[in-house]
Structure 1
Amino acid sequence: MKARNVVSLIVVVAGVTLMSNVYAQASNAMPMASSPAASSGKATPADKTLAREVRKALSKAQNFDVSNVFVKARGGVVTLSGSVPEGPQIQQAAEVAKGVPGVTSVSNHLALYTKGY
């Protein structure tokens, strides 16, 4: 009898936990579903153009090494990732990207790298 009660309790706790996780995931997904680019996961032609414009601006920036920098754009939000050889270039990249028309915000994930291991 006690074993049955313990198993029932475990099933109830697991069910409540699962339902709260499903609700949390569903409520987080709702705002994203309103945006076509976010729901498909694919960049629109405008996103690709914006990413190219940001990369072009970075390549023209004085003393900036763009060779290991990756640019992604989604609905005006630009994400920078990769690495740069000098610390000040991390902030420089964000400032250059913010100056490109059409950029609404910048998520800067650039890291500093050193040559060699």
Structure 2
Amino acid sequence: MKTVGILSALCLTVAVAMPVAAYAQASDAMAGMDNGSMPSGKKAASKADRALARAVRRALTKAQGFNVSNVYVRARSGAVTLSGTVDTGDQIAQAEQVAHTVSGVTSVSNKLTLFHGGNG
């Protein structure tokens, strides 16, 4: 009976230790990366993506008669995605045209929709 208790305790210890060891190995693999989170190539790419998204948003802000308050801009390697809502159908096309004029934009995915107001 005592042997069964020892075996149970041993199995429980192994069951708890295995996930902890696996987690430690994953963390160790990340140690060789800049700042412990991302390889430097990806870090530079995401910085460029954020800068491109800001440039597109800035261009939309300067577009006459365009309300950018509910528009979200994402960029990834030159591909820009516009999402959110605008007041008129003309603004959907206008946003895409403006985004294409920004240097560095290679394609635009326009997912803008019309704002229908209110809750519902």
Tell me the TM-score normalized by structure 1. 0.63
Query: Does 1:107 pair with 2:120?
Result: no
User: Which of 87, 97, 100 lines up with 2:99 in the alignment?
Assistant: 97
Distance (Å, rounded) in 2 between the aligned partners of 1:80 and 1:115: 20
Which runs of structure 1 show a deviation greater than 6 angstroms over 4 or more consecutive aligned residues? none
Aligned partner of residue 44 in structure 1, secondary structure? helix
Distance (Å, rounded) in 1 between the aligned partners of 2:56 and 2:63: 11
- Could you tell me how far 1:67 is from its partner in structure 2? 0.3
**Count of residue pairs the alignment pairs up:** 79
Aligned partner of residue 59 in structure 2, secondary structure? helix
Q: Which runs of 5+ in 1 are unaligned?
A: 1-35
Q: Which runs of 5+ in 2 are unaligned?
A: 1-40
- For 1:48, the equivalent position in structure 2 comes to 50
Aligned partner of residue 81 in structure 2, secondary structure? strand
Q: What amino acid sits opposite 1:47 in the alignment? A: D
User: Which of 83, 86, 91 lines up with 1:84 in the alignment?
Assistant: 86
Distance (Å, rounded) in 1 between the aligned partners of 2:118 and 2:53: 30
- C-alpha RMSD of the superposition: 1.9
CA offsets, 1:16-52, max 9 Å, x none? xxxxxxxxxxxxxxxxxxxx75xx9xx6100000000
Query: Does 1:70 pair with 2:57?
Result: no
Distance (Å, rounded) in 1 between the aligned partners of 2:91 and 2:97: 10
- For 1:57, the equivalent position in structure 2 comes to 59
Higher gyration radius (CA)? 2
Q: What amino acid sits opposite 1:64 in the alignment? A: F
- Could you tell me how far 1:115 is from its partner in structure 2? 2.2
- For 1:22, the equivalent position in structure 2 comes to none
- For 1:9, the equivalent position in structure 2 comes to none
Distance (Å, rounded) in 2 between the aligned partners of 1:115 and 1:82: 13
Paired residues for 1:30-41 under 5 Å: none
Percent sequence identity over matched residues? 59
